[in-house]
């Protein structure tokens, strides 16, 4: 995609009380891009409320009061990107018909439209996501699907693009979406510079699951197995057989398999394979390493073994996966 130029106006349309980080996280991405670019700003940022507000302040759901540019009735001008943050406002009630009418009209005139976290509910209320695939916070996905059956709700990815509509999952995934939009506009180098400035650990692609294998495992209350799983994730090329892992936690192989499966919810071998696939996906998305190199780094015996695991789990070969999901900033 060609790198575009000129100042673009991004409008955040929120129904208070909004989740503060939905707004602040996304704004920080674009404001930091302005700071790093220098000269003429890349983005003009506006925050407008979906209902009348006092003193140009929009309420946050955790007690913060945030500056805004007033409510939608007074807004004038073009919109390049329209983003809707989530929060208790959209989670507990619907916006007024006049605000929804404004949202529909604004969306039709915007180059891109998106939502952060439960902001998806507001887009769905306006009928803008009918027939589209959409993401939201995992805890609200079932409710969104029930209330708006015409929306193709997918509870897994951290953000989804369907045409010029972008929807993201919970909280910090709004930062991931904003970085993706920035990369779309101004290239991967600037997006990565912004991520570094914000000390974002990993600029995650949209197809990444809201719950990674490692994160899901942290629900366990057993400290020895929790520490073992951390070690496993950091030593994927080591011997991760049942016998070797059982020795590390001073358990018999039989007892280890029983306890591990009870806490992780799956057999040891399946858990290890999922860890290795998850790591391989990151390498395929973000590097130009060969399939043999990636297989070795992630603990697969060879590229063919990794390929069979991918087909079982993802119904795609590593090559097909890379073609579909590789970051636009990585050389072909």
The CATH number of the domain holding residue 223 is 1.10.10.60
Sequence-ordered list of residues with C-beta below 8 angstroms from that of 67, at least 6 positions apart, any chain: 47, 56, 57, 58
**Which residue is it, tokens 């087909």?**
311
296 within some domain: yes
Question: How much is the pLDDT for 332?
Answer: 45
What CATH number does the domain containing 72 carry?
A: 3.40.50.880
- For the chain, what is the domain count? 2
Residue whose C-alpha is closest to residue 60's, from 69, 71, 49, 73 = 49
Q: Rounded to an integer, what distance in angstroms lies between the CA atom of residue 44 and that of residue 285? A: 31
205 within some domain: no
204 within some domain: no
Do 302 and 254 reside in the same domain of the chain?
yes
pLDDT profile of the chain (332 residues), mean per 10: 69 96 95 92 96 92 93 94 96 95 97 96 97 93 95 90 92 88 88 83 51 50 76 92 94 93 90 92 87 96 95 90 69 49
* CA trace torsion 22, 26, 28, 31 (10° rounding): -140
202 within some domain: no
114 within some domain: yes
Do 312 and 258 reside in the same domain of the chain?
yes
Last residue of a domain, one of 171, 197, 223: 197
332 within some domain: no
What are residue 51's phi and psi, to 5 degrees? -160, 165
Do 48 and 167 reside in the same domain of the chain?
yes
- Could you tell me the pTM of the whole model? 0.67
Do 189 and 260 reside in the same domain of the chain?
no
Do 15 and 126 reside in the same domain of the chain?
yes
320 within some domain: yes
Say whether 251 sits in a helix, a strand or coil. Answer: coil
- Residue 242 CB neighbour total at 10 angstroms: 16
Do 192 and 230 reside in the same domain of the chain?
no
Question: How much is the pLDDT for 150?
Answer: 97
Q: Rounded to an integer, what distance in angstroms lies between the CA atom of residue 257 and that of residue 11? A: 53
Question: How much is the pLDDT for 330?
Answer: 56
Question: How much is the pLDDT for 209?
Answer: 53
Say whether 49 sits in a helix, a strand or coil. Answer: strand
Last residue of a domain, one of 141, 166, 197: 197
Last residue of a domain, one of 197, 230, 253: 197
Do 129 and 60 reside in the same domain of the chain?
yes
Do 37 and 186 reside in the same domain of the chain?
yes
Do 32 and 177 reside in the same domain of the chain?
yes
Question: How much is the pLDDT for 117?
Answer: 94
**Domain range holding 85?**
8-197
Do 220 and 183 reside in the same domain of the chain?
no
Question: How much is the pLDDT for 315?
Answer: 86
Do 145 and 220 reside in the same domain of the chain?
no
3 within some domain: no
- Residue 48 CB neighbour total at 10 angstroms: 22
Do 138 and 261 reside in the same domain of the chain?
no
Q: DSSP readout, 41-82?
A: -SEEEEEEESS--STTEEEBTTS-EEE---BGGG--S--SEE
């Amino acid at each position: 995609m060609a790198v575009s130029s000129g100042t673009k106006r991004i409008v955040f349309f929120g129904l208070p009380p909004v989740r503060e980080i939905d707004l602040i996280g996304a704004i920080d991405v674009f404001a930091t891009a302005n700071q790093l670019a220098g000269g003429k700003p890349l983005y003009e940022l506006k925050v407008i409320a979906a209902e009348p507000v006092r003193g140009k302040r929009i309420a946050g759901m955790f007690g913060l009061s945030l500056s805004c540019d007033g409510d939608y009735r007074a807004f004038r001008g073009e919109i390049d990107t329209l983003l809707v943050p989530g929060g208790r406002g959209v989670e507990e009630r619907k916006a007024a018909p006049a605000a929804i009418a404004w949202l529909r009209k604004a969306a039709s005139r915007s180059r891109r439209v998106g939502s952060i976290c439960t902001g998806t509910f507001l887009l769905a209320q306006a009928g803008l996501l009918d027939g589209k695939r959409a993401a939201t916070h995992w805890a609200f996905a079932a409710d969104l699907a029930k209330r708006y059956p015409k929306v193709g709700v997918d509870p897994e990815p951290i953000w989804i693009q369907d045409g010029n509509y972008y929807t993201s999952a919970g909280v910090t995934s709004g930062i991931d979406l904003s970085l993706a939009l920035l990369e779309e506009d101004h290239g991967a180098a600037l997006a990565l510079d912004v991520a570094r400035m914000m000390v974002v650990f990993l600029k995650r692609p949209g197809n990444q699951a809201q719950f990674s294998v490692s994160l899901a495992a942290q629900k366990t209350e057993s400290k020895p197995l929790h520490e073992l799983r951390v070690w496993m994730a950091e030593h994927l090329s080591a011997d991760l057989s049942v016998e070797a892992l059982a020795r590390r936690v001073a358990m018999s192989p039989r007892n280890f398999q029983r306890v591990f499966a009870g806490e992780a919810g799956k057999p040891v071998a399946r858990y290890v394979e999922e860890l290795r696939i998850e790591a391989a996906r990151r390498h395929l998305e973000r590097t130009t390493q060969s399939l043999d190199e990636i297989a070795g780094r992630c603990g697969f015996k060879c590229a063919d073994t990794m390929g069979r695991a991918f087909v079982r789990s993802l119904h795609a070969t590593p090559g097909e996966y890379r073609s579909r999901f590789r970051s636009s900033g990585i050389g072909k």
